[in-house]
Structure 1
Amino acid sequence: MAEDSENKADFEPRDADKTAAPSMPVWKDDDDDVEDDLGGSAVTSEPDWVAKRRRELLETDGKGELDASSALTGKLAKVKPSSRTSGVRFRIDRQGDSRFNISVDGGIAQVGFDQGCSVLAVLGRRSKSVLLYEVDRHRSEGKYFRLKGEMSSPATSGEAVSSFAFSDEGKSMLLVTNRKNVMKYDMNQNSTLRISSLTNPRTESRYSRVHTPPASDDEAASVFALSCSDHGGVLLCDARSNAIIHHFQMNAVSVGVGFHYRAGVVITADKDANIYEWDLATGRCVHKFKDDHSLHLTSFAISPGAHEEFSRHAFVAAGSQMGFLNLFPLLPGAAEGDEERSCIKRALLKSYGNLSTPITSIAADDSGKFIAYGSEHKKNALRIIHNPSGCVVGNWPTENVGIGRVTDMAFASRFSTLAVGNRAGRVQFFRILTS
C-alpha cells in the first residue's frame, strides 16, 4: 500500500511556479511600444494606386470632390467603359414554323441548301438517310423563313449515306454511302443512279465526304471531289462522264476541300495544318504551306462567293483543335504566266479565339458578308463573323437561345437565314437582319 501511495504521488500534478516569468509575445515590432490607442476605431490608409485613380476620376468628371457614399466604393470601383465596342451588333431572330419542325432521332450529321435556296436537305447521324424539304420561297422572301413541306427522299436501297452535295444547279444530288459507293439522285424524276465507274483507292477504306463547286463557278462547274477517310486522298471527278480525273494525295487525313471561285484551282487542307493548291487541268500541286498558327486542323472552308463586289472579302478559313478560326485572304488568281504566285496570302488576316473547343463546322454565305463557325463539344458554341468589319457579332447567341451542340450549319443566302443542326436532332433557323 505504501508503494502504491508513493507511485500515486509521482503522478499528481505539481503546482505551477508562482515566480515564473510572464509569457512573451511570439513576434514584436519595433513600433509596438509607441502605437497609438485608437479607441476601437479602424484606420484605413489609401494605397497610391487608389489615390491616383481617384484623381483621374475627378479630372474626368470635372468635379472638385466625391460624395461620401462613393468615397471608397462607388465610382472608384466603376471602370470607365472603353470607347471601342466589343464586336458588332445585328438583330438575329429565330424563325419558327410549327407545321414543319424538323426533328431527327439520333442527331443531325449534315444540313445544306441547293444553289437556288429552294430545297433543304438534312442528313440524320444515326438514321444515315437524307430528308428533303421544300422552301416556301414566296413567304420566305417576306418577314419570316418558312418551309412548304417534305419532299420525296432519295432511295439508296438500304445503304447508309455519309455525305451529300447538290450539283447541276440544284437539279441533282450526289450521295456517298458507307459501302464505297457514290449515287446520283435526279430530283426531277425522283430516281437514284449508282455511279459504278468510280473505284475507291486500295489504301482508303471509304469516302468520307463529297464536295461540289458553287453553281456560278464556271471554271469548275463540271467537276466534283471525293475526300477519302484514311490517308489524305482526294479524288477529282468529271461530273459528265463520272470518271476520275486526278488523285490528290496529302500528308494527312483531309479536313476540307474547296473550289476557287475564279482561278481554276482546288484548295484542300489536312489534319496536320497543311494547305494545298491543286491545278484543275494538270492535277499538279502548285502551292503548299503550313498554318503556323495551328497544330491540328479540325475543319476547313473557303469563301463560296463569286460576286466581284465581295471578292475583296474572300477568305480561306481554317478551324483548329484549340478553338481558333484563322482567316487567310483569298486572291482572285495568279497573274497570267506567273506560276509562282499563290491564290492565298500566307500572312494571317485575322484569328478568332471565341471558342474553347475544337471547331467542327464552318459555313459562309454566298455574298461574303458572314461566316459562322461552331463546335459540337459544347452547348451554344456558335459564333458569327461580320466579314467586312472583321468583327464577331457580340449580341448573339445569348444564353436563352438554346442552340444546343451544333453539328452542322448552312446559309440560305437568298433569305439571309442560317440553318443550324444540333446533336439533339433539331434544325433551327435564324434570320440575320442587316437593315
Structure 2
Amino acid sequence: MNTDEPSYDILKEIDDNLGGSDTEIPMPSIDTTPIIPSNVKRYIEQALEISKNKDEETDDVQNQITEDTGAWQDSDDEKVCVSLQSKSMLKKLRKNEDEDIISGDQYEKRLRQQFEKLYPTPNWATVPSKRKRQQILDSSDSSDDEPPEELEIRNEPDKHNESNKKNDEYNESDTHNKSDTLKIQKKLLSNKKLEVTKVKHVNQQAYSQSVVQSVAFHPNAQVAMTAGLDKTIRLFQIDGKINPKIQSVVLKDLPIYRAAFNSNGTEIIAAGRKKYFYIFNIEAGSIDKSNGIYGFQDKSLENFSISPCGQYIVFAGNSGYLVLVSNRTKQWIANMKMNGTVTSVDWSNDGRYLFSVGSDAEVYQWDVNTRRCVHRFKDDGGFKPTKISVSKNGHYFAIGSNSGIVNVYDETCLALPNPKPLKSIMNLTTNVHDMKFNHDSQILGISSHSKKNQLKLVHLPSLNVFPNWPNNLTSLNYVQCFDFSPASGYIAIGNDKGKALLYRLRHYPVA
C-alpha cells in the first residue's frame, strides 16, 4: 500500500472538521478485471479479429448477391452514346425498330442481357438461394400446362423387429443406408403411347422465306437455330410460349443447305452448293468465309458433319473422299477414300470413330487418329443407302435407304462382315432424308421430304413405331429436317412452308 496517499479515515475527519457535507465521499474503486496472461490475451484478440473479418466478408457476399451489381462502375459510360442503327450486328440490341441512340451503361447492360440469353448461368455458378427460387418459378410455370412427371419410387419394406433391440438397430441402420441410395427414376419410355403436346412454332416471330433446310438446338442453352435457302440464319430463345427471336444473320451469296452448331455452341458452320462455307462466331458476332478446302474439287460442301469431341469437321465428296478438317483452324488435315460415292456420315459419341456409307451399300468404320478403315460391312438387302445414324450410347446403328427402309443394327455389326439387322423398319415409302437418335437412345426419328407428313418415331429397344404420334391428323407438310433438344424435352421439325414446328415430349424434362 502506498503510504503517501491519505487514507479514507483521515479524509473523513478533515471533512467533519470543516463543517461536514451532505455529499457522501465514495469508496475508492477496486479494479476487478481478471488478470489475463499476455499470450492468452493475444490469442483472444486474434480470434476476435478473424471472426470480425469473416462477418464482414459474409456481409459483403450477401450485399453482392442482393444487389447483383458489377464489380466496377465507370461513370464515363453515361457520357458515351451508341447508335444501334450504325451496324447490323447492333440492331439485335434494340427493343423496338425505331430505337437508335442509347447511353454507354445501357449499351453494356443490353450486351450482358444478350450474352445471358445465349449462355445462361450454369447450375454450379448459381447461388443456392437463387437456384431454389428459379426452380420454384420454373415449376410454377410448367405446372400450368404440364402434368407432373411420372416417377417410380421403390420403397424398402419395414424390417424392424421390436422384440430384438440389437436387430432393430441393425435394420434401422440398413434401411437408412438404402434410403440414401434410393433410386427415384423416370419410367422407361413406353412403346404404346408417346405423350406429345404441340406448342408455339420455333420461328413464329420470324418465319423463313423459303424451305427450312436445317433446324438445330444449341447444345448448352435453350436456343434453337433455323437456316435455309433464303440465305438467313435465325436464332430463337425457346420457352414454348413466345420463343423470342434473338438475332438473324444473312449470308448474301450462300443459299444454306446445311447449318450446324459446333460441339460447345460457340460457332455455327453454314454450307451449301458452293466451294466455300461460312463460320458465324456467336460470341463475337463475326462472320468469316472459308474459301474452299485444300485438295477438295467438288462444287458443293453441303454434306458435312462436326465431331462430338469438337476437334474435326468432315466433308463428304462425290468421288468417295472424306476430307478431314480441323474445327479450330478450319484447315485441311487428311483425306480418306472409300469406294463409290459418299452419301452420309456420322460419328461415335467420343469422336474417335467416323462412320460412312456409300452408294454401293458398304458401311465403313474409320479410326480418326490413324485415318484408317478398321472395319466394313454390307448393309443387308443391298438397297442404296441415303443416311446413317449412330446412337449416343453406341448400341444402335441405323441405315436408311432410297426405298424408305431403315435397317437397325446393334454393336455386333462392328465385328461381322455381313450382319443381320435387329429389324427392318418399313413405315416410310420414299427415300430416307433425315435420321437421328435422341440423347438417351430411346427414340429414333426417321423422315422423308418426298411425301407429305413423312416423319416416324421409333421406340428403342422394342423397335416399334409409336402408334399415336405422328398420326394421320398431324399436319407436318413436307418434312425437310428435325432435331431433338439436348434433354429431348422438345422436337423441332422444319418444313417446306418456312416453319419450324415445335412439339413438347412430356416424358422428358425441358432442359
TM value normalised by structure 1: 0.67
State which drifts further: 111-120 or 363-372: 111-120
How much has 1:283 moved relative to structure 2? 0.8
How much has 1:185 moved relative to structure 2? 1.2
Partner of residue 234 from structure 1, selected from 322, 337, 351: 322
* SS across alignment from 1:368: coil
2:396 counterpart of 1:318: no
* SS across alignment from 1:192: strand
2:255 counterpart of 1:160: yes
1:266–1:415 distance in 2 versus 1, CA, 3 Å = closer
Runs of 4+ in 1 over 4 A off after TM superposition: 341-345
RMSD between aligned alpha carbons? 2.7
Counterpart-to-counterpart distance in 2, 1:389 and 1:98: 31
Q: Which residue of 2 aligns with 1:51?
A: none
Q: Which amino acid aligns with 2:493?
A: V
Counterpart-to-counterpart distance in 2, 1:292 and 1:433: 35
- Please list, as runs of the form range in 1=range in 2, the aligned pairs for 1:145-294 lying within 5 A after superposition: 145-146=240-241, 148-196=243-291, 198-199=293-294, 201-202=296-297, 204-214=298-308, 220-228=309-317, 230-262=318-350, 264-294=352-382
1:263–1:225 distance in 2 versus 1, CA, 3 Å = closer
* Cα shift readout 1:137-162 (whole Å, capped 9, x = no counterpart): xxxxxxxx345422333343433333
Q: Which residue of 1 aligns with 2:33?
A: none
* Cα shift readout 1:123-176 (whole Å, capped 9, x = no counterpart): 22x31332222223xxxxxxxx34542233334343333322211500111122
2:445 counterpart of 1:375: no
TM value normalised by structure 2: 0.58
Counterpart-to-counterpart distance in 2, 1:364 and 1:295: 22
Q: Which amino acid aligns with 1:222?
A: Q
1:413–1:294 distance in 2 versus 1, CA, 3 Å = farther
Counterpart-to-counterpart distance in 2, 1:301 and 1:172: 23
8 Å CA contact 1:182–1:198 kept in 2: the answer is no
How much has 1:326 moved relative to structure 2? 0.7
Gaps of 5+ in 2: 1-189
* SS across alignment from 1:425: coil
Give the structure, 1 or 2, with the largest relative contact order (CA under 8 Å, sep 6 or more).
1
Q: Which amino acid aligns with 1:324?
A: I
How much has 1:117 moved relative to structure 2? 4.7
Counterpart-to-counterpart distance in 2, 1:434 and 1:251: 42
How much has 1:200 moved relative to structure 2? 5.0
Q: Which residue of 1 aligns with 2:144?
A: none
8 Å CA contact 1:259–1:267 kept in 2: the answer is yes
* Cα shift readout 1:160-218 (whole Å, capped 9, x = no counterpart): 3332221150011112243311222110111012234733523x22212221123xxxx
Counterpart-to-counterpart distance in 2, 1:87 and 1:105: 37
1:350–1:199 distance in 2 versus 1, CA, 3 Å = same
Gaps of 5+ in 1: 1-85, 137-144, 215-219, 306-310, 334-340
1:185–1:106 distance in 2 versus 1, CA, 3 Å = closer
8 Å CA contact 1:364–1:410 kept in 2: the answer is no
- Please list, as runs of the form range in 1=range in 2, the aligned pairs for 1:16-415 lying within 5 A after superposition: 88-96=192-200, 100=204, 103-124=207-228, 126-136=229-239, 145-146=240-241, 148-196=243-291, 198-199=293-294, 201-202=296-297, 204-214=298-308, 220-228=309-317, 230-262=318-350, 264-303=352-391, 305=392, 311=393, 314-330=395-411, 342=415, 346-415=419-488
8 Å CA contact 1:419–1:427 kept in 2: the answer is yes
Q: Which amino acid aligns with 2:464?
A: C
Counterpart-to-counterpart distance in 2, 1:353 and 1:254: 23
Give the number of equivalent residue pairs. Answer: 319
1:201–1:135 distance in 2 versus 1, CA, 3 Å = same
